Amino acid sequence: MTDPKLRVLIPSGKIQARIRELGSQISKDYPEGNLHFVCILKGACFFMADLARAMERDVAIDFMGISTYGKGKTSSGEVKVTKDLDVTVEGADVLIVEDIVDSGVTLNYLVHLLEQRRPKSIRIAALLDKPERRLRPVHVNYVGFQIPDRFVVGYGLDYAERYRNLDAVCVLDDEPAA
């Protein structure tokens, strides 16, 4: 895709190499047991698909839809589940799979919600982390890349539903092309 407003921040090859490392690390950390990946729609679906295939063991996959209001502006962002899990995670090792952690509002809420369902453990894998933007505390166990506070699209991330299918993470430049 050629678009003058896009500048590659993390090229596809780097993303895939990092996901292979994460898959190998996570596989070692969970040598056995009932491991459930919980993908947060929609942005994380590309990361989840690649991470699951980089795993050296069997994993179950499931999806959750979350919507947030007032996100990033205040620490009191309202969160709502728009699609719940299909199967129970009681007694399972849950790995929440996210494309990006920004304010932390979404994951802070989700961890508390899933804890009530009595899983054996909960950890978080996020491809991208913007620590500067944090409003709520979140412990991200597996981070692909820490990035600066720039508006990024691609590899699942959108701007008004566009650009999700880019294979790289790109900065979306508001400056008009020269």
Integer Cα distance of 110 and 86 in angstroms:
16
106 lines the binding site for ligand PRP (CB under 6 A): yes
Q: CA-CA distances (angstroms) from residue 47 to 64, 77, 80, 160?
A: 14, 25, 22, 19
Alpha-helix runs per DSSP H in 11-125: 12-29, 45-53, 105-115
129 lines the binding site for ligand PRP (CB under 6 A): no
68 lines the binding site for ligand PRP (CB under 6 A): yes
Catalytic residue of the set 102, 149, 167, 173: 102
41 lines the binding site for ligand PRP (CB under 6 A): yes
Contact at 8 Å (CB) between 28 and 19? no
144 lines the binding site for ligand PRP (CB under 6 A): no
Candidate residues 101, 125, 140, 169; the one interacting with ligand PRP per rule CB under 6 A: 101
Which tokens go with 64? 């959750």
Nearest CB to ligand PRP, comparing residues 63 and 168 = 63
- State the DSSP H helix or E strand holding residue 158, giving kind and residue range, or none if neither: none
Integer Cα distance of 60 and 76 in angstroms:
32
Nearest CB to ligand PRP, comparing residues 59 and 105 = 105
Nearest CB to ligand PRP, comparing residues 58 and 174 = 174
Binding residues for ligand PRP, rule: CB under 6 A, are 40-44, 68, 71-72, 98-106, 158
Active site members: 102
